[in-house]
Structure 1
Amino acid sequence: MVCLAVAYNILNTFISKMAADTITITLYGAIAFFGLVGCAIFWSFMSWKFSVLNKIPGPIKDMTFKNWLIGVFLQVESEDFMEPQKSWWKEAGEDTKLLHYSALFGKQFVMILDADGIKKVLTSPSHEDPLYPKGFEYLARVLGHGLVTLEGQSWHRHRRIIQPAFSINFVKTALDACVPDLVLKLIGCWKANVNNDIDLSSHMGATTLDIFGKIAFSHEFEAMKSVEQWSQDPDCAVELKNPLIEGLDAALTASLTRLLLFNLKMPFMERFFLPKLHHAGVLFDQASDNVVKNAQKQSQLNNGGYKSLLEFMCSDSSHGALSQKELRHEVKTFLIAGHETTATLCTWAIYCMTKYPSIQQRLYDEVMEAHGPKDKINVDTCDKMEYMECFLKEVLRLYPPVGLTLRSASKNTTILGDKIPANTKIVVPTYLLHRHPKYWTDPLDFKPERWSKTAEKDPKFHHFAYIPFSAGSRVCIGQRFSMYEAKLILALLIREFEFIISPSLEGKELRVSSFVTIRSDPPISIRANSRCG
């Protein structure tokens, strides 16, 4: 018993000492951790407070801790798209070439409002050690490492493998084979509900999704089924129910928490703070893998029909082949870049027709001059409609689907004579640039004729003041595809319908918002009156 008591006392003393040492170590560790965090915050604040960028005009005048912590984040999030930047620009003066502002934790942004400055950034070499990479860490977590988010040699390799898939012959053949049938379904649904409001964005989204699913992936999204359900029950909302789409929508849903995680360089914490979004991302990956597997099966079974874009990517080329993981990332990238942007273009195009009836009539006359009431409309015939081309260019000028482009300075550099430190975010404001009075006569007026081949060239025009598909080596690979698709869809619809704005929106001013692509608030709603009575 005595031995047991002695042993117990020795063990108890040892455990107590261990516990005390553990508490001490933990305490010292916590002090060290918070000390390092405090030093990092102090250093970040002081770097922001005394940054050379503060010489550039901008909204933040007081270099206080509060402004470092929040910056203009809340203002930008709460106001209409580009409205804060427009007000800062107006305050700084119309001749201002650069604007400086900061977001959460002193994250520095420089907006370029000069076409020559934008030319320097967008035409900078991209395939080797780029000076102005995109720096899309956040977007890469959603879409993976595809053409939009890759940098340097990796981007260059993907581009060279994928580029042949966008040959003019493939684009025309694929669109002619796919678009008319799907648009005819849409026409049938609209004719069944001529007196009902049409949520244009949803209907265009469903149409372009099915088109792109077939052409790009040999995949049936069956999004038009939701439009067909709407035609039977107009009170039913058009919902795109598909694992790939649901995964994309959920994964793209922005939140303050996610933005904070990326500003703090802790994206790995996403699964703990945002478990639902993390799970959606997993499902998104799985659905993308299934699309790749299906395309590979289709490629093996293809008996002379045109290949999908993904089938081209699955094939070996002189530049190598993409791995399964790389193919998955490109599926996610093309899903959003390939269907959402064209749907947005068509939505704003039809809105402009409702706003300018004389322009709509001229488009109809051109379509009927090129085709009879029942003639087949294809890409080649649409390509000959010059006014349609001018019209779409003007839509893209005032309502570019992607309203801004981001770059990041990889090292210290100079833009338009101002020093730009490394890691500064460079903003190319396409939406504002397309309305800049320095580069456009009557910049806010909708004038398709300004693009006519016979029109006198605007003396203010600058090629880098019009960049709806970006510019330079990283210009959108699918710009020709998107323009042909939009022309074909709109020509088919214009021949059948006269568009008017929904009575619920008459007299209302639409606000512009941006979530990947620019959208209207409230959503654009129209009525389509059949021209055949």
Structure 2
Amino acid sequence: MASVGSLILGWAGYLLLILFGVILVAFVGYVLYVKYIHLKYDHIPGPPRDNFLLGHMPTILSDSRTPGRHINERFLEWAEQYGPVCRINSLHSIFLIVSCPEATKEVLMSPKYSKDPFVYKRLFNLFGTRFLGTGLVTAMDHESWYKQRRIMDPAFSSVYLRGLIDTFNERAERLMTKLSEFADSEEPVHMHKMINSFTMDVITKIAFGVDLDLMNVNDSPFPQAIEMCLKGMVHYIRDPLFQLWSKNKKVIEEIKEACQLLRKTGAMWINERKKAVQSGEEVPMDILTQILKSAEENKKDDDEEIMLDNFVTFFIAGQETTANQLAFAIMELGRHPEILQRLKEEVDDVLGVKQDISNEDLGRLTYLNQVLKETLRLYPTAPGTSRWLAKDIVIDGIKVPGNCAVLFSSYVSSRLDRFFKDPLTFDPERFNVNAPKPYYCYFPFALGPRSCLGQNFSQIEAKVAMAKLLQRFDFSLVPGQSFEILDTGTLRPESGVMCTLKLRGTA
């Protein structure tokens, strides 16, 4: 028996030795591959690596976890120091921060450059729970994306959106009524929270035919669920070790539950719309109807899941970015009383005391349009987009080998002084009709065929809400609050923008 045991131990030791040898060879092979990648791309300017294997990951993770810092600010610093093409290493992968207008035009305006698979495939699920799947934002295949986009277009046409002006007005009136209560009580208002409820009310009503009435409902689970999903996006994409730590298990479960809540809600609302269609009821040609139509035309095995992918995409994107833009605009107006006064004068001149804003009124609010564009220049709520370079390309005189990702950051480009004079100054005159137009360095909604489908929807919504706010209220920022940016995947004002409100015309 002893000899048998010794034989078994001997074989076990032999197998362990072989396993160790295989692991060692694999590790050495990986190290050599990382070295090869370094040699392939190190001619491109970039900051010194923190670590041979990890590259710049330690800095990126540190910025993501440090209060008062966000990674977009680091990208800006690197772009200023290293130029229009800046190399970033992450393990064996390379991505480039590109702030060259010609390259921005070439890559973003062409359908031949697909989205970066590392980022957008990671958004398929969050920690094993399906999230954005293969919906309109994350679809990698151009033909598959184009079919979805073509079907969705009618819900965002200018004619259709003009017909929604009454709904925009009605939802904004609900917001004004709620803000009047704060003005009467003289309590400070968390403006981002209030506007977030407004934009969610708008997207659910206009896109899905559902009235959440968040102005009067304080315990809705949806705002928290969206916040958890956005938090999950940041952790899942930027921190590959996040799910390995036991201390993060609770938040991971909360993120997964948030994804499940949104998808279950989508399934319920989709089924209700299906029943309405089948029973011959008249239904609006809204986003929900277009989602159903897309599934009918594509006829894929997982069409139910794809419908939910698009539901979650529009639910989150349709309210998050506009709410953030409006909150940042209010923050900047509170810091610039002369701009605020000019804006009030324009609103008074165009609207007077009328309650319902028309599409023609929106066209006449030109300075408001400039203010909103300048807000997006400094605070692009979706700060950037990435593409995959399958083949070699020359950018700003630098040969870039293929098989790497490029990041086009509107946050970076819009804050570079080679494109904008005094770039950190809030100046709506940059977007005066007679001012020179930025050349492919301002793209808060991205550019080209994959640009944001809902940008016109978003800006109508923003103009209606802001015009009514300026028409009805005087507001001032509560002293002592932060003006820092909170990075949740999208950009939000860290302070929430706390304001005191007073009805205009009152002492």
- TM class by shorter chain equals 0.7 to 0.9
Shift in alpha-carbon separation, 1:222–1:301, aligned structure 2, 3 A: farther
- Choose from 154, 164, 169 the match for 1:164: 154
1:159 and 1:288 map into 2 onto residues whose CA distance is 19
Between the two proteins, what is the percent identity of the paired residues?
A: 23
- How far did 1:434 drift? 1.2
- How far did 1:140 drift? 2.2
- Choose from 501, 505, 511 the match for 2:484: 511
Shift in alpha-carbon separation, 1:465–1:258, aligned structure 2, 3 A: closer
Counterpart of 1:138?
122
Give SS of 2:502's match: strand
Give SS of 2:228's match: helix
Give SS of 1:253's match: helix
Whether 2:47 is the aligned partner of 1:74: answer no
Structure 2 counterparts to residues 228-267 of structure 1, below 5 A: 240-242=220-222, 245-254=223-232, 258-259=236-237
- Choose from 378, 382, 387 the match for 1:398: 378
Counterpart of 1:107?
93
Contact kept, 8 Å, 2:235 with 2:242, in 1: the verdict is no
Shift in alpha-carbon separation, 1:299–1:223, aligned structure 2, 3 A: farther
Counterpart of 1:233?
none
Q: Which amino acid aligns with 1:215?
A: I
Contact kept, 8 Å, 1:71 with 1:101, in 2: the verdict is no
Q: Which amino acid aligns with 1:469?
A: F
Contact kept, 8 Å, 2:171 with 2:202, in 1: the verdict is yes
Answer with 28-37 or 70-79: which moved more: 28-37
Contact kept, 8 Å, 1:160 with 1:319, in 2: the verdict is no
- How far did 1:488 drift? 0.9
Contact kept, 8 Å, 1:393 with 1:448, in 2: the verdict is yes
1:273 and 1:486 map into 2 onto residues whose CA distance is 32
Shift in alpha-carbon separation, 1:208–1:18, aligned structure 2, 3 A: farther
- How far did 1:341 drift? 0.8
- Choose from 463, 466, 470 the match for 1:494: 470
Contact kept, 8 Å, 1:172 with 1:379, in 2: the verdict is yes
Shift in alpha-carbon separation, 1:33–1:154, aligned structure 2, 3 A: farther
- Choose from 206, 218, 222 the match for 1:215: 206
1:261 and 1:17 map into 2 onto residues whose CA distance is 45
Answer with 483-492 or 65-74: which moved more: 65-74
User: 1:405-442 CA distances to partner (integer Å, 9 max, x unpaired)?
Assistant: 22222344333332333442211121121122222234
Structure 2 counterparts to residues 190-339 of structure 1, below 5 A: 190-194=179-183, 195-226=186-217, 240-242=220-222, 245-254=223-232, 258-259=236-237, 274-300=252-278, 306-315=284-293, 320=298, 323-339=303-319
Answer with 21-30 or 140-149: which moved more: 21-30
Shift in alpha-carbon separation, 1:391–1:33, aligned structure 2, 3 A: same
Counterpart of 1:181?
170
Counterpart of 1:27?
16
User: 1:137-184 CA distances to partner (integer Å, 9 max, x unpaired)?
Assistant: 22222321111111221111111111122111221222x232222222
1:476 and 1:374 map into 2 onto residues whose CA distance is 32
- How far did 1:297 drift? 3.3
2:80 and 2:322 map into 1 onto residues whose CA distance is 32
1:397 and 1:521 map into 2 onto residues whose CA distance is 18
1:37 and 1:202 map into 2 onto residues whose CA distance is 51
- Choose from 491, 495, 506 the match for 1:522: 495
1:28 and 1:272 map into 2 onto residues whose CA distance is 38
User: 1:456-503 CA distances to partner (integer Å, 9 max, x unpaired)?
Assistant: x33xx4431111111111111111111111111111111111121113
Q: CA RMSD in A?
A: 3.4
Contact kept, 8 Å, 2:49 with 2:89, in 1: the verdict is no
- How far did 1:210 drift? 0.9
Contact kept, 8 Å, 2:330 with 2:497, in 1: the verdict is no
Counterpart of 2:459?
483
Give SS of 2:139's match: coil
1:272 and 1:368 map into 2 onto residues whose CA distance is 51
Q: Which amino acid aligns with 2:292?
A: C
TM-score, normalising length from structure 2? 0.85
Contact kept, 8 Å, 2:136 with 2:310, in 1: the verdict is yes
- How far did 1:75 drift? 4.2
2:235 and 2:370 map into 1 onto residues whose CA distance is 43
1:421 and 1:33 map into 2 onto residues whose CA distance is 31
Give SS of 1:431's match: helix
- Report which of the two structures shows the higher radius of gyration computed on alpha carbons: 1
Q: Which amino acid aligns with 2:136?
A: L
2:18 and 2:274 map into 1 onto residues whose CA distance is 53
Shift in alpha-carbon separation, 1:205–1:20, aligned structure 2, 3 A: same
Contact kept, 8 Å, 2:190 with 2:499, in 1: the verdict is yes
1:272 and 1:495 map into 2 onto residues whose CA distance is 45
Counterpart of 2:27?
38
Contact kept, 8 Å, 1:98 with 1:113, in 2: the verdict is yes
Shift in alpha-carbon separation, 1:314–1:37, aligned structure 2, 3 A: same
- How far did 1:71 drift? 4.9
- How far did 1:305 drift? 6.4
Counterpart of 2:396?
416
Shift in alpha-carbon separation, 1:367–1:308, aligned structure 2, 3 A: same
2:123 and 2:109 map into 1 onto residues whose CA distance is 22
Q: Which amino acid aligns with 1:225?
A: N
Give SS of 2:315's match: helix
Shift in alpha-carbon separation, 1:19–1:204, aligned structure 2, 3 A: farther
TM-score, normalising length from structure 1? 0.81
Answer with 162-171 or 248-257: which moved more: 248-257
Answer with 153-162 or 131-140: which moved more: 131-140
2:205 and 2:265 map into 1 onto residues whose CA distance is 16
Shift in alpha-carbon separation, 1:480–1:272, aligned structure 2, 3 A: closer
Contact kept, 8 Å, 2:80 with 2:416, in 1: the verdict is no
Contact kept, 8 Å, 2:378 with 2:414, in 1: the verdict is yes
1:50 and 1:279 map into 2 onto residues whose CA distance is 44
Question: Structure 2: 5+ residue runs without aligned partners?
Answer: 126-130
Give SS of 2:399's match: strand
Shift in alpha-carbon separation, 1:221–1:466, aligned structure 2, 3 A: same
1:255 and 1:518 map into 2 onto residues whose CA distance is 13
**Does 1 or 2 have the higher relative contact order (CA < 8 Å, sep 6+)?**
2
Q: Which amino acid aligns with 2:147?
A: R
Contact kept, 8 Å, 2:116 with 2:405, in 1: the verdict is no
